[in-house]
Amino acid sequence: MDETWDSIAEWYTSLVRDGSAMHEFFRDMLLSLLPQQLAGRHVLDLGCGEGVVTRALADRGATVVGIDPSEALITQARTAERPHPTGAAYRQDDGQRLDTINNESMDWVTAALSLNNIADLDAAIAAVKRVLKPTGKLAFTVPHPCFDAPGATSITMDGAVRRVVGDYLREGFWRSTHPQSVRRAGNYHRTVSSYITALIDHGLLIEVLAEPAPNERVIATNPHRAALPPFLLIRVAR
């Protein structure tokens, strides 16, 4: 049977909370696009998973709600909140609709490696724009499309681990066969231009587009990431 986010929720939660270098890196890179102090700000964490970014936003003083379609992941997030309350709220919701979020109610929307798990990117961007205040902003990360396309792999060449680019132009749903990959639950590959075009089509202003270099911890645990950006990092204003 194919894996789902519900079926891998416990494994994924353990991965994140045991100090995954990649997850700490994407959390810190995403948070670098937001103010250090978020008191008085309302923030939506779209595709919150087990809450690693949501909790960090609450620690900065934000009134934050995390949404995710996976009931099992929302349960994990709520369980973490009980012994160490941050004030974050969690709801099961579809990122393509955001039915539980009011119009123009959010100062910020964050999406940490979640837009790539949504089938209809256009619907998701439209929903984000709807819930953002007129001065609101969206900050998100996705796996770098150039180096995590279907069929991408790693080889050793000249004594170094190198990344082999996969089927970059083949957009759509794909599932990793690696037993320790989060993408065994499924993932939607899109080109960089598809992400940028969707933002432009909805009238969002691109403020930051970055490809952060991996830190030493990421390289140590993922040597094929050396000299390659693991994520695409974008901030847009409504």
Residue 30 within any structural domain of the chain: yes
Per the structure, the complete domain to which residue 138 belongs is given by 9-144+189-220+229-237
**Predicted pLDDT at 51:** 97
Residue reference for tokens 């089509």: 201
Split into its structural domains, the chain has a count of 1
Residue 155 within any structural domain of the chain: no
Residue 210 within any structural domain of the chain: yes
* Sign of torsion over alpha carbons 229, 176, 117, 182: negative
CA gap 71, 119 in Å, rounded: 18
Q: Model confidence over 168-181: pLDDT tens digits? A: 999 999 998 888 88
Q: At 35, list the tokens.
A: 């103010």
Residue 207 within any structural domain of the chain: yes
Q: Which residues contact 61 (CB under 8 A, 6 or more apart)?
A: 37, 38, 39, 40, 41
**Predicted pLDDT at 177:** 85
Q: Model confidence over 91-109: pLDDT tens digits? A: 999 999 999 999 999 999 9
Helices assigned H by DSSP within 82-225: 121-131, 192-201, 216-221
Percentage helix, strand, coil for the chain under 3-state DSSP, each rounded to 5: 30, 25, 40
**Predicted pLDDT at 44:** 98
Which helix (DSSP H) or strand (DSSP E) does residue 59 occupy?
A: helix 52-59
**Predicted pLDDT at 176:** 87
8-state DSSP, 114: -
Residue 29 within any structural domain of the chain: yes
Residue 163 within any structural domain of the chain: no
Q: CATH number for the domain including 55?
A: 3.40.50.150
Residue 2 within any structural domain of the chain: no
Q: 54 φ, ψ to 5°? A: -55, -45
Residue ranges in the chain whose pLDDT is less than 50: none
In percent, how much of the chain has pLDDT > 90? 85
**Predicted pLDDT at 1:** 65
